[in-house]
Amino acid sequence: MFERISPEGFPVPIVVPGNSDAIAQNLDKADKFHGESEYSAAALHARMALELSLKKVSDRQGVPVPFKINERHLSLDALLSCFTKWNTDADIKAEIKKLELARSVVLNPFSHSMPVTLGKTDVKSAIDAVRSFHSKLQALEYYRKSRS
């Protein structure tokens, strides 16, 4: 959102149309940051996209996840684990395997104090794995209310 001044001199918000898919927006930002060699920001947006994807599908499909009053205390690892146990689709299982390979990047070691040696290829692989997972969930209509 940006601001402009009306002819009367009042500030007026300008809403810039964008992609209404927050998951895709985060993946696009991850690609943008990756292209600028900002790997920590790229990994962060890949993680956010995966977290949003798992929360959305868990909500829409009734995936059992542990209840937390403060949802920030529900970890990405717990969401992925619950979804993995719930899922029976072979195509989604293949996508989860890709996510497992990229787990060290998607779980964002850049946000921790330990030194990180991840590079361009690792981060790009993680972004691609999350994008592929998101696309497969869309194609199989997992984001719709109850597929049954």
Q: What is the pLDDT of residue 11?
A: 84
Q: What percent of the chain has pLDDT over 70?
A: 83
| Percentage of the chain lying above the pLDDT 90 cut | 50
Higher pLDDT, residue 74 or 86: 86
Whether 73 has a pLDDT exceeding 70, the answer reads yes
Q: What is the pLDDT of residue 12?
A: 83
pLDDT of 112 over the 70 cut: no
The secondary structure of the chain, three-state, reads CEEEECCCCCEEEECCCCCCCHHHHHHHHHHHHHHCCCHHHHHHHHHHHHHHHHHHHHHHHCCCCCCCCCHHHCCHHHHHHHHHHHCCCHHHHHHHHHHHHCHHHHCCHHHCCCCCCCCHHHHHHHHHHHHHHHHHHHHCCCCCCCCC
The per-residue pLDDT for range 18-70, each reduced to its tens digit, is: 657 899 999 999 999 999 998 888 988 999 999 999 999 999 999 999 888 88
Residue range 97-110: mean pLDDT, rounded: 74
Whether 129 shows a pLDDT value over 70: the answer reads yes
